[in-house]
């Protein structure tokens, strides 16, 4: 069992960062890289064994759109990996997974939750290629292809994997229900693109409501399964509160159920924190307390 980290942006906001920006957490690579390193350290201290880098939204086109040169953009993408590696080294152990966020994250229009793109497979391959090779040649241990909402984008990433045969990766889809990724493709079909690929260490789901996780685990065969869902919160306007697995203890209990159902990697995504990861560790080790 491998414990992943939780929501990087969520914890950065807890640490005082203002992420109201199209670059989201990647803007801190420009403004305050030290706080990214601290967030990674906090997750390692909470029990995470993997740090996912702040490169989710850190693409060359996004930085160029902000006015940086392509060379400056490349340096910032590499910095995202270096910060996670520094935190790992300070902690004394761990794995650095270079985040490969979807094209929809660059669009910043919600397309990462629908897979409704204006590029075909060739276009998506070309869009991802520069960042892909920068990260593949970095000090990262593996690539985290995450929050993938589109079957076409998954095919593009499969092509890029073939261009870097020495690099391992995981592939994690964002799903709209218990059987389909966000563009409507059955998860079983999308996962099938990678089942026979020796570079892929796991296939899973993230940025998905916890209530769908058990069903989604059952859709993945032939590779280790990973899940790192959101807290699953929805706003209850009548009672003015969030409903879902925001409570870290409940999230830890649910995570124990996901591992019992066969997930080999478990963590959290949006609105999860180091305390959620601490509770996952507690429930998986059977201690009941962090």
Q: How confident is the model at residue 83, as a pLDDT?
A: 98
Q: How confident is the model at residue 232, as a pLDDT?
A: 78
Q: How confident is the model at residue 225, as a pLDDT?
A: 98
Q: How confident is the model at residue 20, as a pLDDT?
A: 87
Q: How confident is the model at residue 288, as a pLDDT?
A: 42
pLDDT in tens, 130-153: 999 999 999 999 999 999 999 999
Cα separation of 143 and 33, whole Å?
A: 21
Q: Which residues of the chain have pLDDT under 70?
A: 234-245, 287-290
Q: How confident is the model at residue 234, as a pLDDT?
A: 64
């Amino acid at each position: 069992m491998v414990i992943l980290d939780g929501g990087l942006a969520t914890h950065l906001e807890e640490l005082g960062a203002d992420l109201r920006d199209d670059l989201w957490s990647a803007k801190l690579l420009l403004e305050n890289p030290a706080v990214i390193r601290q967030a990674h350290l906090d997750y390692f201290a909470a029990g995470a064994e993997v740090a996912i880098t702040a490169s989710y939204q850190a693409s060359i086109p996004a930085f160029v759109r902000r006015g940086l040169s392509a060379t400056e953009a490349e340096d910032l993408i590499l910095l995202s990996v270096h910060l996670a590696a520094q935190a790992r080294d300070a902690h004394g152990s761990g794995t650095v997974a270079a985040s490969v966020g979807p094209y929809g994250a660059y669009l910043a229009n919600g397309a990462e939750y629908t897979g409704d793109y204006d590029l075909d497979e060739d276009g998506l391959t070309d869009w991802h290629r520069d960042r892909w090779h920068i990260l593949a040649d970095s000090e990262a241990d593996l690539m985290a292809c995450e929050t993938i909402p589109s079957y076409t984008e998954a095919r593009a990433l499969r092509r890029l994997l073939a261009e870097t045969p020495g690099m391992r990766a995981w592939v994690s889809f964002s799903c709209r229900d218990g059987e389909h990724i966000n563009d409507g493709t059955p998860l079983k079909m999308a996962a099938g693109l990678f089942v026979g690929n020796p570079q892929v260490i796991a296939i899973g789901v993230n940025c998905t409501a916890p209530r769908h996780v058990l069903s989604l685990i059952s859709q993945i065969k032939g590779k280790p399964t990973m899940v790192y869902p959101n807290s699953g919160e929805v706003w209850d306007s009548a009672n003015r509160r969030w409903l879902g697995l925001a409570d870290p203890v409940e999230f830890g209990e649910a995570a124990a159920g996901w591992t019992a159902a066969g997930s080999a990697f478990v963590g959290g995504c949006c609105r999860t924190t180091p305390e959620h990861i601490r509770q996952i560790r507690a429930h998986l080790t059977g201690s009941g307390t962090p």
